[in-house]
Copies of this chain bind each other. A is one copy, B any other.
Amino acid sequence: MPERLWYLKHCDLFQQLTMQQLTGLEARCRSKTFPRGSPVYLPADYADAVLLLAEGRVKIGGFTEEGKQTILAFIEPGEVFGELALAGSTEREEYAEAVEKSSVVLMPREALEALLAENPQLALGVTKLFGLRRKRIERRLRYLLFRSNRERLVHLLIELAERYGRQNSEGVELTIKLSHQDLASIIGSTRETVTVVLGELQSEGRLSIGRRKIVLKDLPELASSVNVPVPKLAEA
């Protein structure tokens, strides 16, 4: 299946590999598709593969005993997830769910480990990936503690703008559709409070909200109100 190779080839992580290495890896991979809402893996699953998202969108998170969801991250096409399998874990600790119909490439752990051992460049890439995600999560942790729901939400919106923001005539529009419940699950709050706080922010003129759509009217002002640097947008 040549398209699988295409996905591997276009993954940032594998840019340094030779064509031979790529096809070797490809031969050991398998593909799988998941319907919207279905789990990709569950906590305590055996972690024998790293996954590459080809299409769709996946969320990584967990649940409390009372059924409350926490969202740790969203994965976009071309990104790798479940990579903690490379760090010595044999079990998943988190939960990965396809939020849209998604297709993923499963890369067996041993295949990757073999590649890593012979390819320092790749190992460096993996290290950077780990580091990047760790930095992101440490930042999250630091701004979640001791901060009001409002601050957490504003901070989150700014973070989202960095990845999903697109400048238009009204301001910066978030190109990812998230429900209030999703936002709450990220900042550790409840749907209702998110609704209320968003309403406040709107009536203050800082943003405008539609159904699953948010436009930040004045990103720099918003950023300075919570003492963070103004992010550059990834999208045009």
* A binding-site residues for B, Cβ under 8 Å: 61-62, 64-66, 68, 70, 72, 83-84, 86-89, 93-94, 116-121, 123-124, 126-128, 130-135, 137-142, 144-147, 188, 227
10 closest A-B pairs (Cβ-Cβ)? A87-B131, A145-B188, A123-B123, A130-B130, A134-B134, A62-B142, A68-B146, A70-B145, A120-B120, A127-B127
Point out the residue from B61, B86, B94, B142 that lies within 8 Å of A70, measured CB to CB.
Answer: B142
The distance in angstroms between the C-alpha atoms of A133 and B72, with both chains bound, is 15
Copies in the complex: 2
Bound-complex Cα distance A64 to B119 (A)? 41
A188 (CB) vs chain B CBs: closest residue? B145
Taking a contact as CB atoms under 8 Å apart, the answer to whether A116 and B120 are in contact is: yes
Give min CB distance, A117 to chain B, whole Å.
5
Rounded to whole Å, the gap between the CB of A78 and the closest CB of chain B is 19
- A61 nearest CB neighbor, chain B only: B142
Cβ contact within 8 Å between B132 and A72 = no
Specify which of B64, B84, B120, B135 is in contact with A135 (CB 8 Å cutoff).
B84
A227 contacts which chain B residues (CB < 8 A)? 65
